Amino acid sequence: MVPFGDRALLVEVAEPDAVAAVRVALEKAPLPGQRDLVPAARTVLVVLDRAPTDLDVAALRRLTAGARVRADRTAVVELEVCFDGADLDDVAELAGRSPDDVVRMLTTVELTVAFCGFSPGFGYLTGLPGELQVPRRSTPRTRVPAGSVALAGPYAGVYPQASPGGWQLVGRTDALLFDVDRDPPALLSPGTTVRFRIGG
Amino acid sequence: MLTVLATGPLTTVQDRGRIGFAGIGVPRSGAADAASAELANRLVGNDAAAAVLEATAGGLRVRAGRTLLVAVTGAPAPVLVDRRAGPFGAPFTLRPGSEVALGAPPQGLRTYLAVRGGVDVPPVLGSRSTDMLSGLGPTPLAVGDRLPIGKLQAEEPFVDIAPLRPPSSEPVLRVLPGPRRDWLTADAWAALTTADWSVTTDSNRVGLRLAGPALARATDDELPSEGLVPGAVQVPPDGAPVLFLADHPVTGGYPVLAVVVTADLPAAAQLRPGDRVRFRGG
């Protein structure tokens, strides 16, 4: 538990799974004046509309201590992906597999949205097999099209909007990842299970 | 209705921002100098949730379509109403067809214009704010835009004039130790809180980039991305700190050395390129 300025506390957890547990617990029973939650790789930022007190620290300590339970699975999303990404061959080479093998691995693995960030609706998906945990491209692209399915480090992700990006592109989907007129606006939110399927 | 006749370098619609969507990657956004925006709303008797116009370095000119009560706060731009000097920090009435124009503020950067009832562009995820980072919300104002006025007024305004101190171009901002202070050398904290920093030209609503002594990392480890708040002073690998403002990204992957206290964020938001700033440990 670390203070983050005079309006927030940063909860640090030992393992990535606990992030989801802490997030779910704070969604169910928010602290008084809780304004926002930002789950990330190893932390949950709790933003308040007031200065945090020792009571908040104590409440968060209790919560993280018991937060080993697996988070509720909120939803399962299947994404149809056309695996024609510009970096698929590079990823295959890094993995020491054929491009077909890479596609087979990506369409059999079950991924989970660990947290969102980078841009609205961009989910960091965990659960990739070790071979597919590839480094970012050494030179980022100035424009990655919306719907691009990409890999970097321990994460897979889908770009909701066209943007600059340094991840390895393996395919693309037509799914609408983020729509402000939809409720909820993000197709992938923390805790969502994601499966890729081969699509047109 | 307000018709936009000139926008200056950048004018956006801003309110209190998007609250509760950080978990799906949506930044908060909202008025950069929230205190000045709130004061402008109070002067015209608006609900605190009403949207105002945030003019950057003046240059905004609008025409009233009907009788409107307006107020100007923030960076003290000269106010012209139909080419005559108008009030700053006090409510005044615009007649149908009247124009209000903001000159360039001698100090500070962001001037706020509130209209009784609020600027009523369609909200996106509960806010009318333009987020320059994510692109959510209305596009920045353009000449010819016609802005509807809403009904987000509370009681009749009762404040005649607000005593205002112009923003300082050499403020001292109070900072608290950030969550990753130990990722930087002890000298880094000392340098942050003693040196004179200058605001560089690539500063914007996302953050202020500061020039001064390079701040050194104590470790080469890679920090997993974590949440950010406005006021966070993040140190990227080049050692030049970034002080995040309203349109900061939801998460960041570089250590946060210090966090500016909430009460001093308005002063930070009024800094303009070339201004000097110091930090004092709180």
Domain boundaries, chain B: 2-147, 172-281
Summarize pLDDT for B91-137 with one digit per residue, the tens: 999 999 999 999 999 999 999 999 999 999 999 999 999 999 999 99
Q: Are strands B2-7 and A193-198 parallel, antiparallel or unpaired?
A: unpaired
In total, the C-beta contacts within 8 angstroms joining chain A to chain B are 117
What is the total residue count of chain B?
282
- C-beta separation of B48 from B38 below 8 A: yes
Residue with tokens 């901002």: B173
Query: What pTM was computed for the model?
Result: 0.93
Cα nearest neighbour of B228 on chain A = A45
B25–A116 C-beta distance less than 8 A: yes
pLDDT at A68 over 80: no
Does residue A53 carry a pLDDT above 70?
yes
Residue B95's pLDDT is what? 97
Distances (CA, A) of A129 to A102, A133, A157, A159, A191: 10, 7, 14, 21, 19
What are the CA-CA distances from residue B210 to residues B81, B207, B239 (Å)?
A: 37, 9, 10
- Give the per-residue pLDDT at A18: 86
Q: Beta-strand (E) ranges in chain B?
A: 2-7, 10-14, 52-56, 60-64, 68-74, 79-81, 84-85, 92-94, 99-102, 110-115, 146-147, 172-177, 197-199, 207-211, 226-227, 232-234, 242-244, 251-252, 256-260, 276-281
When pLDDT is cut at 50, 70 and 90, the band that residue B155 belongs to is: confident
| Contact at CB, B24 and A185, closer than 8 angstroms | yes
Helices (H) then strands (E): counts for chain B: 3, 20
Q: How far is CA A197 from the centre of its chain?
A: 19
Interchain CB contact of B235 with A (< 8 Å): no
pLDDT at A117: 87
Query: Where does the pLDDT of residue A73 fall: very low under 50, low under 70, confident under 90, or very high at 90 and above?
Result: low
CA–CA gap between residue A100 and residue A95 (Å, rounded):
12
**Cβ–Cβ contact B228 with A under 8 A:** yes
One-letter identity of residue B152 = L
Instruction: Tell me the pLDDT tens digit for each residue of B218-260.
Output: 998 888 899 999 999 999 988 999 999 999 999 998 999 999 9
Task: Provide the 3-class DSSP secondary structure of residue B93.
Answer: strand
Q: Do domains B2-147 and B172-281 have the same CATH topology?
A: no
| d(C-alpha A108, C-alpha A88), whole Å | 17
CA distance A87 to A106: 14
Pairing of strands A8-12, A168-173: unpaired
Tens-place pLDDT, residues B177-187: 999 999 999 99
CB nearest B25 (choices: A2, A8, A119): A119
Contacts of A124 in chain B (CB under 8 A): 225
CATH number assigned to the domain with residue range B2-147, chosen from the 4 options 2.60.40, 2.60.120, 3.40.470, 1.10.3470? 2.60.120
Q: Using alpha carbons only, what angle is made at residue B245 by residues B48 and A124, rounded to the nearest 5 degrees? A: 105
Chain A contact set for B25 (CB, 8 A)? 116-123, 186
Quick one: fold of B172-281?
Answer: Cyclophilin (2.40.100)
Question: Mean pLDDT across chain B, nearest whole number?
Answer: 95
User: CA of B127 to nearest chain A CA: how many angstroms apart?
Assistant: 11
The per-residue pLDDT for B216 is 94
Q: What does the pLDDT read at residue B161?
A: 76
Chain A residue numbers with beta carbons less than 8 Å from the beta carbon of B122 are none
CB contact under 8 A, A38 and B227: yes
Per-residue pLDDT, averaged over B158-176, amounts to 83
